[in-house]
Amino acid sequence: MFKLTETDQRPDVLLLVSTLLLVTVGTVMIYSSSSILAMERYHDAQYFLKKQIFFVLLGLTAMVFLTKVPYQKLRYAAYPGLAAAALLLGLILIPHVGVRAGGATRWLNLGIITFQVTELVKVALVLFLAHFLTRKIAQIKQFSRGIAIPLAVTLFVVGLVMLQPDFGSAAILMAILLLMLYLAGTRLVYLGGMAAAVMPVALYLVIHKSYRMARLMTFLDPWKDPRNSGFQIIQSLLSFGSGGTFGVGLGDGMQKLFYLPEPHTDFILSVIAEENGFIGVAIVILLFGVLIIRGFFIAFKAPDLFGTLLAAGLTMTLALEAFINIAGVMGLIPLKGLALPFLSYGGSALLMSLAAVGILLNISAQES
């Protein structure tokens, strides 16, 4: 049994408040963006809202629990947690066990619900790397003893993720590895070598898959094929343009009316932009900024190296997911199909994001 944390320090209030505000905004906007779609598909305007509220409550429960359990105890789950996550990644590739949608198999069929395994994998890999690098800190400058194993494990997990395929999540996992190795004190020459080795592989994966190459070409010129490959980003840009400064009003957006594909998931920020304008988007970005800054602050104030690496890895995960989604729907980078943390509809992503915040809050309550 885990003993609950006993400390006179309070968890980071700004991190908690920014998280709760993002979850609240997300819940409201999921209903606004999905009610018409839910009525058309399921004859229930609140279908997506009710499911999201269930996962909000479940996620908040997980967050509170992890706020109370000393984060040092999580080290016991580092190896079995990653092993279980890797096993689940293999299971979803089995027909009728994994759920295929949008050309990818990323969800595990649990009967009444589906679970996106990569969301668990991100947290499990951060926990494993934080534990392993803390144990091997004396050998961290030696490639064979301090770097080879975490690199091999990460590449194995990335390989399983690419089989789905999920290029965006694979890139995030590699970025997390490089960040955590850097914070642990790995030689820069090793990091540079790994980055240099990864880049041509990533380029090869883009060039030799037609749909990835199409996304890149669409990013460069979405108007070349406005009714097909460019349709999504054009509709998203129209949402941002029509929102103006203050938006057209909550619930009054037009792009969610079967123009934006899945407006409650990947493109929820586009709906926010149309209905709440520049002000609404700025508030969302500001909240993410507060959350990320506080997350890294917690990492650097943690009482031990394990806490530093764990907090930095979890914060980096949330930061990259938010950046990729926000930049993608704004047309600043190619679309990657990643959800916006805390705001997009999706139970597994919300659950794991709130669990990550719970760990961060726990670390903040034990700052040195």
State pLDDT tens for residues 178-225. Answer: 999 999 999 999 999 998 888 888 888 878 777 778 778 888 888 888
Residues in Cβ contact with 199 at an 8 Å cutoff, skipping those fewer than 6 apart:
none
pTM of this prediction exceeds 0.95: no
Q: What are phi and psi of 34, to 5 degrees?
A: -115, -10
Residues 91 and 108 sit within 8 Å (Cβ to Cβ): yes
State pLDDT tens for residues 1-28. Answer: 445 555 557 889 999 999 999 999 999 9
Compute the average pLDDT of residues 60-66. Answer: 96
* Tally: H helices and E strands in the chain: 12, 3
Q: Which residue has the tokens 């984060």?
A: 71
Strands 98-101 and 114-116, bridge-based pairing: unpaired
Q: What are phi and psi of 291, to 5 degrees?
A: -60, -45
| Banded pLDDT at 102 (limits 50, 70, 90) | low
CA dist 127 and 356 (Å) reads: 10
pLDDT value of residue 225: 80
Give which of 289, 291, 283 is closest to 16, Cα–Cα.
Answer: 291
Query: What is the average pLDDT score of the chain?
Result: 89
pLDDT at 71 over 60: yes
pLDDT at 45 over 60: yes
| Banded pLDDT at 336 (limits 50, 70, 90) | confident
Q: Which residue has the tokens 């980071």?
A: 12
208 burial level (CB within 10 Å; 0-12, 13-18, 19+): exposed
CA dist 359 and 307 (Å) reads: 9
Angle among Cα 136, 195, 171 to the nearest 5 degrees reads 90
State pLDDT tens for residues 223-244. Answer: 888 788 788 899 999 999 999 9
